[in-house]
Structure formats: structure tokens, C-alpha cells
Amino acid sequence: MKRNWLNTSAAAAMVAIGLAACSSSTSSSGSPTDAEMNTASEQDVGQGAAQDVVQLTGNENAYGAADVIGGDSVNCTGPATGGWYTCARVTENGLSIVRMFRFWEGTSLGLWWNPASTDSVNHTWTADGTVQGAVDASRSITVADTAAGTMVVTRPPAVGGPQHTWTGAGTFDRVATWTGANNVERTLTHTGTDSVNAVRFQMPRATNPYPISGNIVINVQNHFTAGSFVREVTRRYVVTFDGTSTATLQDGGVTCDLSLVPPHVISNCH
């Protein structure tokens, strides 16, 4: 098994934004309210966390470990000093991504991915670009994420075959803009850190696309403006996985369902 862990603080493609109980998003006059900020934040964090899961799969798929049909063809060079391979920039799901990998066989560096002998893989990556909101396509979200993490392989006798477990940390800077009911532009800026904690996938990924356990913890500073309306809120969210297409998103005493299927809708907040 792997002996060398990469402990770099960088963003695991992981989004973060505020959350609160579902409620009316604007006042009767159409002016912004705290509820509008909370509602927008709730959907953003759900969309971002679901995209994080896609990103982890995309990382493995780039060197053939995820066993997902239709993955991108990635051009990588290496290994360089320290065993790192550097891959050319690619565009995935609207984001521009640059990746680096380092492979381990026990305590020794490996030459690329070998399904029979690779025990773990160190990763670093950046994701930049602009995407649309999951529910409201008029919402424009500018993304600047940096990430680092390690994927560890567990082979049989694990039940059902090999499993891949992710642990990592990162930072993010995301800005969402849209126009509200009173035709005033809204801006919701999310900056913070996140961590991927023992997020485990059952292989093959093509038939087991959702994590079977683990969580993503997101700590974020939200800054919301709409005309003269300004709010800043610091929040902590936990997204927990159980192998189904619905994860649990928790903010303090509020719990919501997060669909891991596009468009990644948040529902059933209580």
C-alpha cells in the first residue's frame, strides 16, 4: 500500500457557498433579501459539490484508472523530477483543467498507471472558466479552483472488487452574477477552503458512478451584493455520500437532499 502522501493545500475542484432553509427569495417589491442570498448559495454549493465528484472521476479517467467510457484523451509528459507527469490543458464541462500525477507502487515511484500494481496516485490540478447555474441558466459562475489530493487503491478481498479512496484539500474563488426580479444585478462571491475526506468509489466506475462513503467539508466566506444590499456570511457545509445518486448536504441544523445527477438540484431542506 501507499506510504507517501501529498499534503498540499489547494482546491479539490470543490465549490462552496452558503446554505439556509428554503424560503421566498425576494420581497413582495422584488428587492433582495437575506433569503435570496441563502437560496442562491444553497443551489450553488449543491452544484459545486456534485461537480467535485465528476472532477475526481475525470482525474482518474485521464490516466485510465476510472474505467469510464468516453473519457478525454490527455497528452501527458514525464516522469520529471520527483516522478511527476504534467498533462496538457483540456476543457471539460466548460472548465479549463491542468493536471499533474505521480504514481506509487508501495514505497517506490511507478511509471504511469498499472491496474495490477499501482497502490496510490498523487494529484494536483487547477480548474478555471465560466459555467452556467444548474437551475437558472442566466446565472454566470466564474470559477478559479486549485486542488491537491491522493487516490489510494484497495484491492480484493474488498467486497465487490477494487475500491478507490480520495483524500485531499483545496482552495477556491468563485463569483456568481445574475439579474434579480427588480432588474438589479446580483453578485455572490465565494472564497474559502474545502477538504475531501475518505471519499470512496467502488470499481468499475462506469457502473458505480457515485461515492459509496465519505464526505466533502466546505468552509466559505460569502459576499452578496445587490444594489445597496450587502451581506457577508461565513458558513461550514458537509456533503455526505452513501452510494446513491442523492447525497446529503448539511449546514448546522439544516439538512437537504443533493442530486448528483445534472442539473444537481437541492431539495427537501428541513
pLDDT at 173: 92
Rounded average pLDDT over 223-233: 91
pLDDT at 39: 75
pLDDT at 236: 92
User: Is 166 inside any structural domain?
Assistant: yes
Question: Which band of pLDDT confidence, cut at 50, 70 and 90, is reported for residue 159?
Answer: low
User: Is 243 inside any structural domain?
Assistant: yes
Structural domain range at position 226? 34-267
User: Is 225 inside any structural domain?
Assistant: yes
Strands 254-259 and 229-240: unpaired
Amino acid at residue number 197: N
pLDDT at 183: 86
Rounded average pLDDT over 230-252: 93
Task: Say which residue, 69 or 153, is predicted with more confidence.
Answer: 153
User: Is 24 inside any structural domain?
Assistant: no
d(CA 120, CA 132) in angstroms, rounded, equals 34
Domain count of the fold of the chain: 1
pLDDT at 2: 34
Please write the tens of the pLDDT for every residue from 169-183: 999 999 999 887 778
User: Is 20 inside any structural domain?
Assistant: no
User: Is 22 inside any structural domain?
Assistant: no
Rounded average pLDDT over 80-97: 92
Q: Is the pLDDT of residue 211 over 70?
A: yes
Query: Whole-number mean pLDDT of the chain?
Result: 83
User: Is 28 inside any structural domain?
Assistant: no
Q: Is the pLDDT of residue 220 over 80?
A: yes
Please write the tens of the pLDDT for every residue from 29-86: 456 778 877 778 777 877 888 888 888 998 998 898 987 655 556 789 999 989 999 9
Task: Say which residue, 241 or 16, is predicted with more confidence.
Answer: 241
Please write the tens of the pLDDT for every residue from 106-126: 999 999 999 999 999 999 999
User: Is 229 inside any structural domain?
Assistant: yes
